[in-house]
A and B are shown apart, each in its own frame.
Chain A
Amino acid sequence: MDKTDRNYTNGKITVYWQPKKCIHATTCYRELIEVFNPRKRPWVDMDGASTEEIVRVVKLCPTQALTFKYNSELEPEKAPELPEVLAEARVMEDGPLVLKGDFTIFDVDGKELRHLKITSLCRCGRSDNPPYCDGTHRKVGYTGK
């Protein structure tokens, strides 16, 4: 638990927000600005949409910066993990390549990079912290098209 972590509830579910995991894929607010509005404080408004809709969008978060739990211990039929694939490489639209799971990553000099559950690699060529994504793609208007 990081001290920047937050959680938000509507009584039925609690949404957990871990900013350090966020790569600003912008999925949440493109999908559901009524709930996830980075211009507002607090930026998550749990009354902005139905529980089902919030759950749907939280599940789209590519880095699990957003997660949720049901408040009742009704253990939901839906597991928190996606169908288990050991390793997934995912191209984010106009953003980085997100590597999830069991990859071995070698740097330009052949050295193995530390890879925890998720690593985001720059695709726009402009990161100040290559080979990692640092969000610069947004500033430079990179398009993946």
Chain B
Amino acid sequence: MAETEDSNKNTPEVRIMHNGPLILKGNFSFRDSSGKIITGEQEILLCRCGESKNKPFCDCSHKTLPVTD
């Protein structure tokens, strides 16, 4: 009866939002460019348009841009 139930075995996810940020969600270790590390369950939105004033995080600057992908 053991159907393969572990297909989503808690792997952290990365979602690439259309003309928007990267959403990282789950249990992983996040390391910023200064070397600071945060490990554990978390959800982070990272800038992908290059325009955020709060890098590496998204601050919704992409909404002012014609980012395409």
Interface residues of A (CB under 8 A from B): 85-94, 97, 99, 101-109, 121-126, 130-131, 142, 144-145
Q: Which residue of A lies closest to B9 (CB)?
A: A102
Chain B residues bordering chain A, tally (CB within 8 A): 32
Asked if B39 and A85 sit within 8 Å, CB to CB, the answer is yes
Sample of 5 more A-B contacts, CB < 8 Å, known A87-B29, A89-B24, A104-B13:
A90-B31, A101-B28, A103-B13, A103-B28, A104-B14
Asked if A131 and B11 sit within 8 Å, CB to CB, the answer is no
Asked if B28 and A89 sit within 8 Å, CB to CB, the answer is yes
Contacts of A131 in B (CB 8 A): 16, 22, 48, 69
Q: Which residue of B lies closest to A108 (CB)?
A: B18
Asked if A121 and B48 sit within 8 Å, CB to CB, the answer is yes
Cα separation A124 to B47 with both chains bound (whole Å): 8
Asked if A126 and B50 sit within 8 Å, CB to CB, the answer is yes
Name 16 A/B residue pairs within 8 A (Cβ), A-sorted.
A87-B12, A90-B30, A99-B14, A102-B11, A103-B12, A105-B13, A105-B16, A107-B16, A109-B18, A121-B22, A123-B48, A124-B50, A125-B49, A125-B65, A126-B50, A131-B69
